[in-house]
Structure 1
Amino acid sequence: MNVLLLSAVASLLLLQSAPVAEPRTVTPRGDLAADERATIDLFRNARDSVVFISTRQRVADFWTRNVYSVPRGSGSGLIWDGAGHIVTNYHVIEGASEAQIQMSDGRQFNAQLVGVSPQHDLAVLKIGGAGFSAPTRVPIGTSSDLQVGQNVFAIGNPFGLDWTLTKGIVSALDRSLPNENGPDIRHLIQTDAAVNPGNSGGPLLDSAGRLIGINTAIYSPSGASAGISFAVPVDTVMRVVPQLIANGRYTRPALGIESDEEINDRLKRASGIDGVFILSVEPGSAAERVGLVGVQRTRRGILPGDVIVALNSRPVSRLGDLLARLDDFQVGQKVQLTLLRAGEERNVSVDLQPGI
């Protein structure tokens, strides 16, 4: 009896000394800040125009000769128009045999390749057929009037994490990256928005929700975002994409000359002249019509030809730089070249011709 009584008294004492868990009240949040509301609206308005791209590659088994497809990679893209054209990076679909597009609402479509421009790291795919209806497209902005410090927003699918929004600022303008497929990729927008593998091909937007670039590359020793990313400016996209849709390829403006980066470097070191050495001039080309001269072989030996030192008064010192500068123009437009010939400087005007 005493044992039961002691146990009851002990239980009562424990209950009386136990802390009471009082419920916390929720503090009303109040209205979102104006910039938060603007960011939310920007994402909602643009999200449906961004797609997830997954690619596959056909391979053949050496022993069985069976052909099958294996996953190759993934990236992002932007619905360009009501016809179902999608803009993405060339490197997203490079080497792929198949591409599948997933919309933000879960619908999936097989895509056809329309055209590519490796020198701009741009490609156009097309989807369509039953069940496809184009969402409201992202409005087009400009990149020529961007300023360092203004806000930018990237939407994409980093590491397969679909429809991710990141925010940053324009860190620098007019950056250039070397390009294995041709001239340097110029006029790139540098931002500190978090961009990772899978973001490639997705849109870069300004604070008005307008397209100002296509995210294309990052600088990162680790392979993940290090706060330095690059986007192809929308002014370049607007020049290249219509040609890809219409012709399947981009026709670059050219002078009709032949040069070589490696030979050019050797000639620069040997002569001390900083410019682009013309090795030869194509017969019937725009360059020949205005009298440009390449390297000549005579009885006295090899005579150097013209050296292009400036384009429209802007110095050029590398072949890649010259080709990239020419890409700012269109076939048929006139440019002024500053040349050195036998140590004398002269200016000539050239009508740009279609390049190969």
Structure 2
Amino acid sequence: MSDYDYTPRRRRDEDDDDDRPVRRRFRPEERPGRGPAYYALFVVLGVVIGGLVLWGVIGLAKFRGTRPGLDPSAQPRETTPGAPLDAEEQEAVTLFERVRDSVVNVDVVLVRQGRLDEQPTEQQTSGGSGFVWDAEGRIVTNYHVVADVTKRPDVTQLRVVLADRSAYTAQLLGTAPDSDLAVVQISAPKDKLKPIAVGTSADLKVGQKAYAIGNPFGLSLTMTKGMVSSLNRIIESPSGARIPKVIQTDAAINPGNSGGPLLDKSGRLIGVNTSIATPNGGNVGIGFAVPVDTVNRVVPELIQSGRSLRPDLGVKLYDERRLRQARYDHGVMIDRVAPNGPAAKAGLRGVQYSSRGVPEQPGDLIVAINGQTVNDMEDYERVLRDLKPGEPVPVKFVRGTKPMELTVTVGGV
């Protein structure tokens, strides 16, 4: 806008008839200033609003304090004395207190080397349970719990955590994949090592109480209770070999229980918890334990030599399905004998084949070993696993139609 405005204006002299515009100077309109009353109004409004908020908070607090059910003088309730433990409860409590110090965590730790100015880092890759075998610091667990150490010894190590949560680096002493057993060694004060009581499994009965203690999902010293659900089950070991005489129990066993003890009501070891049958990865009441009689045979061998010899007669058996099709309704037939093996040295024979590989003469049909009947392959494996390398055993068999018996010295592989 220009600083000048032109508007018509009549001169004061009435005799002047000149209507020319008169130029006048434009002056901007002056706005009134904000006086003290203006700011006083804002102060008053602030005080009023603050008062309303304070009144609302106090009123709400009073309203809440008067709600039904609230009592500012509320106190803790008096407790009701519990009934004494019954016999069954006392049995479980006593057992746990007796055995808990014998149960350990067995962890596989991945060690990652840092830069020159950094400390190595550790990461637990797997874990399970175990128990103290003797006062020298030997710990028994499952082979599959420590298998990763055998595969990656340069970057993994074993760690055993005792019941008092003290931890020790462990060395792998020996493994028996065919039995899913392993022994590790720790160096701990003897007053911290509480060897477990060892029982027997040959005399177990279905229906006996069974207790499992271990570290399911890393929850240390968890005890569950059940019974011996069945006996003489057969499960597959990590090596693919079949483990006979396995104990089935409904005591809850979950991941992390592997390697822990299965106990009778006296707190004696009757098995090593090994696996479960499950459709979803969790416990459904079907767990399996390696029988203690097997454990008590294999563990000393691992301590003595670092490995367990599997009993062997030096024979390869004929296919059982084809044998039954040939109308042999019981027994197992020798297909081949290993040269200079125990069976060959004793005089046992296998199937004789033609140059075309066609069977011409049947092999010896084994019907009993060491006084135990052998009706099928399952019986053969069960009986064989009970034998000891170097032990002479009688073997009954049928050659053609003639019953015979020879003594075979058991080998080991």
Instruction: Give the TM-score of the pair, scaled to structure 1.
Output: 0.84
Q: Provide the C-alpha distance between the structure 2 equivalents of 1:69 and 1:349, rounded to a whole number of angstroms.
A: 57
Q: Which moved more, 1:40-49 or 1:68-77?
A: 68-77
Deviation at 1:99, TM superposition (A): 1.1
Q: Percent identity?
A: 42
Deviations, residues 269-327 of structure 1 (Å, cap 9, x unaligned): 55233543323223333312332112334569643322324433423422x65233211
1:118 is matched with 177
Tell me how far apart the structure 2 counterparts of residues 56 and 16 of structure 1 sit (CA, whole Å). Answer: 57
What amino acid does structure 2 have at the position aligned with 1:177? I
Distance 1:219 1:48 in 2: 29
Q: 1:154 to 1:180 in 2, by over 3 A?
A: closer
Q: Residue in 1 aligned with 2:327?
A: 272
2:395 matched residue in structure 1: 337
Q: 1: distance between equivalents of 2:170 and 2:67? A: 71
Task: Report deviation, 1:234.
Answer: 0.9
Deviates more, 1:333-342 or 1:200-209: 333-342
CA distance in 1, matches of 2:69, 2:397: 92
Where do 5+ consecutive residues of structure 2 fail to align? 1-61, 114-119
- The aligned counterpart of 1:281 is 337
Question: What amino acid is aligned across from residue 204 of structure 1 in structure 2?
Answer: L
Aligned partner of 1:99 in structure 2 is 158
The Cα of 1:22 is off from its aligned counterpart by: 7.8
Deviation of residue 58 (structure 1)? Answer: 7.0
Contact 1:287 1:350 in 2 (8 A): no
Aligned to 1:63: none
Q: Summarize the Cα distance change of 1:31–1:297 in structure 2 as closer, same or farther, 3 Å threshold.
A: closer
CA drift at 1:43: 0.8
Alignment match, 2:51: none
Q: 2:222 is matched with which residue?
A: 164
Query: Could you say which residue in structure 2 is the equivalent of 1:207?
Result: 265
What TM-score do the two structures reach when normalised by structure 2? Answer: 0.73
Q: Which runs of 5+ in 1 are unaligned?
A: 1-10, 61-66
The worse-fitting range, judged by mean Cα deviation, of 296-305 and 333-342 is: 296-305
Shift of 1:242: 0.5
Contact in 1 for aligned 2:134/2:194 (Cα 8 Å): no
Structure 1 equivalent of residue 134 of structure 2: 81
Instruction: Look up the match of 2:196.
Output: 138
Q: Which of 86, 96, 99 is residue 46 of structure 1 equivalent to?
A: 99
Q: 1:107-161 deviations in whole A, cap 9, x for unaligned? A: 11111111111111111110116x5644322211111111111111111000111
CA RMSD in angstroms comes to 3.0
- Matched residue type, 1:46: V
Inter-partner Cα distance in structure 1 for 2:67 and 2:140: 70
Identify which of 172, 185, 196 aligns with 2:243.
Answer: 185
Check conservation: 1:334, 1:349, Cα contact below 8 A: no
How has the CA–CA distance of structure 1 residues 255 and 19 changed in structure 2, closer, same or farther, with 3 Å as cutoff?
Answer: closer
Within 1, Cα distance between the matches of 2:327 and 2:110? Answer: 48
Letter in 2 for 1:89: N
1:72 aligned onto 2:125: yes
Say which is worse superposed, 303-312 or 247-256, in terms of deviation. Answer: 303-312
How many angstroms does 1:220 deviate by?
0.6
Paired residues in the alignment total 334
Q: 1:290 to 1:108 in 2, by over 3 A?
A: same
Separation (CA, whole Å) in 2 of partners of 1:216 and 1:16: 58
Give the match's secondary structure for 1:111. Answer: strand
Distance across 2 between alignment mates of 1:42 and 1:322: 37
Q: Whose RCO is larger (CA < 8 A, sep 6+)?
A: 1
Structure-2 residue corresponding to 1:3: none
